[in-house]
Structure 1
Amino acid sequence: EMVERVAKASGLKKVPKAMISYLGIPNAFAYGNFLSGYKVAVTRGLIENLPREEVEAVVAHEIGHIKHRDVEVMMIISILPALIYWLGRILMYSGFFSSGRSRDSRSTPVLAFLVGMVLIIISFLSNLIVLYISRLREYYADSNSVLTLSEGGRNLQRALARILVMSGAVSRSRARDISSATKLKALLISDPELGIGSIRTYDIDEVVEWIKSQKKISPLEIFSTHPDPAKRLRFIDRLEQETTKTKYTLLRV
């Protein structure tokens, strides 16, 4: 019922199938394609630990991925770095093992080896671009919660904060759940490895404000599939402010 309501509010013609994953950590993901049908999955940990309005905001985020066709986009662009990498490896190995066979044309194996090295470097750089696009698509999906639901932005912030806190706690007690989720982390609403280790308050709004106040952004974010949590929550704030200004301007007109 929730998935159907949010899907219609988001403008989807076909309602994704609702699924439940029995992972203990709180999280969610969207998968599928236009041929087999789309699915929105929420984990048992999410349903059991988040209020209904926050679960709804998470569902709106995942439906945003489907609306923007992120599943297909990320699958297609992720193939290119892998193809370049394997082509580079083939050329490197062929150049290396052929170098001692033909003394008359040594330049050809050396050239193949060098081209292979260049292709592997290109594959690494192109993979960074893929990760950047993945982080960008997370922002786009977040915007669907803000633009579709009443109080969607605030509820999504609270949901993300709870997921971060609980993922940090789970990482110490349920290593198996974290290991399973990490294999799927490109699909998840939040990277389970980014959990908050300890927090002094149990007030979720204070947790949200504490996360937003973190100014130091790790340079390792360029290797992440998800945006830095502080940047992400501040983005939701800015989007809500812009949306409110737009609505106010339209009312005045």
Structure 2
Amino acid sequence: MTRFEPDRGLTGRMVLTMFLLGLLYVAFMAVLIAVGTQAIVVLVIAVGFLLVQYFLSDRIALFAMHGREVSPQEAPELHGVIDRLSALADMPKPRVAIADSDTPNAFATGRNQKNAVVCVTTGLLRRLEPDELEGVLAHELSHVAHRDVAVMTIASFLGVLAGLITRFTLYSGLGRSRNQNGPPIGLIILLVSGIVYAVSFLLTRLLSRYRELAADRAGALLTQRPSALASALTKVTGEIARIPTRDLRAQQSFNAFYFVPALSGASIAALFATHPPLERRLEQLARISAELGRR
């Protein structure tokens, strides 16, 4: 347990979303078994991918984003903030890393509190004031405390499985095979896999947006300064919008980890976004500020 305050409304919606993903998984496997496909082979492969992602998520993310762990001597101020927040939240201090990137952002990864790492970019450190940085890091520590990386890894399993089965069907030629007494088995599998992947994708994105709102709330309540987090959100989102798109493409696949999405804009439908709109996040922080003012 930590001292991050829970949000029962958001938690309930997260549980419902996870339940729907589980229900979808059961229905998917039932259909595959009914049509007689050798789903067990693909299932074993998918479980292997899941385990690698689950146990090595911290190393994979740091390697992909060129982040490196730093000691208290190398980054005393950053370590100082995380020390204070970890003590305030009554949780183990995560490892601290810095990524040499001008994109102002931060992310937390790791399957649990003992294996967690919080990484910030040099661009974020240059742009934020101390209280704004504290708000961002409280947000990231909330992800660690609530095991959001593990939750999102498990939630994404169904989409990975559906994608692998689709590829297996196409490459094996099963998509062109036909049952002598019925419709083509391959086409049925492709259709079901495609539908499952689409629904899983949307539910996972919905879950990601919920967890971002929950992390905003928990971080703001921990520091008791929601205005600092709101200021950081506004500043960082504006900075990212001015960075050339080509510098952000390599980071789009890690949007679910980030404090703010690496690429945003009106051209991307909110339905497919990993993060809630900035306006909604700021509205929630304004409500929290009003709540704290009445206490």
- Sequence identity percentage: 27
Tell me the equivalent position of 1:107.
182
Aligned with 2:96: secondary structure?
Answer: strand
Partners of 2:113 and 2:169 in 1: how far apart? 36
1:228 aligns with 2:294: no
Task: List gaps (5 residues or longer) in structure 2.
Answer: 1-79
Partners of 2:233 and 2:244 in 1: how far apart? 16
Per-residue CA distance 1:158-216 (angstroms, 9 max, x = gap): 001111111111126xx33x223323221110012127xxxxxxxxxxxxxxxxxxxxx
Tell me the equivalent position of 1:211.
none
Partners of 2:113 and 2:129 in 1: how far apart? 33
Contact kept, 8 Å, 1:90 with 1:116, in 2: the verdict is no
Structure 1 vs Structure 2 CA RMSD = 2.2
Partners of 1:52 and 1:64 in 2: how far apart? 18
1:4 aligns with 2:80: no
Tell me the equivalent position of 1:145.
219
Instruction: Give the deviation of 1:237 after TM superposition.
Output: 1.2
User: Are residues 112 and 181 of structure 1, via their aligned partners in 2, closer, same or farther at CA, if it must alter by over 3 Å?
Assistant: closer
1:156 aligns with 2:205: no
32-41 vs 86-95, which moves further: 86-95
Contact kept, 8 Å, 1:221 with 1:228, in 2: the verdict is yes
Higher relative contact order (CA 8 A, sep 6+): 2
Partners of 2:268 and 2:249 in 1: how far apart? 24
Task: List gaps (5 residues or longer) in structure 1.
Answer: 196-216, 248-253
Instruction: Give the deviation of 1:95 after TM superposition.
Output: 4.0
TM-score (normalizing by structure 1) = 0.77
Partners of 2:146 and 2:240 in 1: how far apart? 27
Instruction: Give the deviation of 1:91 after TM superposition.
Output: 4.4
TM-score (normalizing by structure 2) = 0.67
1:190 pairs with one of 260, 267, 278: 260
Contact kept, 8 Å, 2:209 with 2:275, in 1: the verdict is yes
Partners of 2:149 and 2:188 in 1: how far apart? 35
Per-residue CA distance 1:17-63 (angstroms, 9 max, x = gap): 11111111111000122387111111100111111110110000000
Aligned with 1:40: secondary structure?
Answer: strand
Q: Which structure would you say has the larger Rg? A: 1
User: Are residues 35 and 49 of structure 1, via their aligned partners in 2, closer, same or farther at CA, if it must alter by over 3 Å?
Assistant: closer
115-124 vs 155-164, which moves further: 115-124
User: Are residues 170 and 88 of structure 1, via their aligned partners in 2, closer, same or farther at CA, if it must alter by over 3 Å?
Assistant: closer
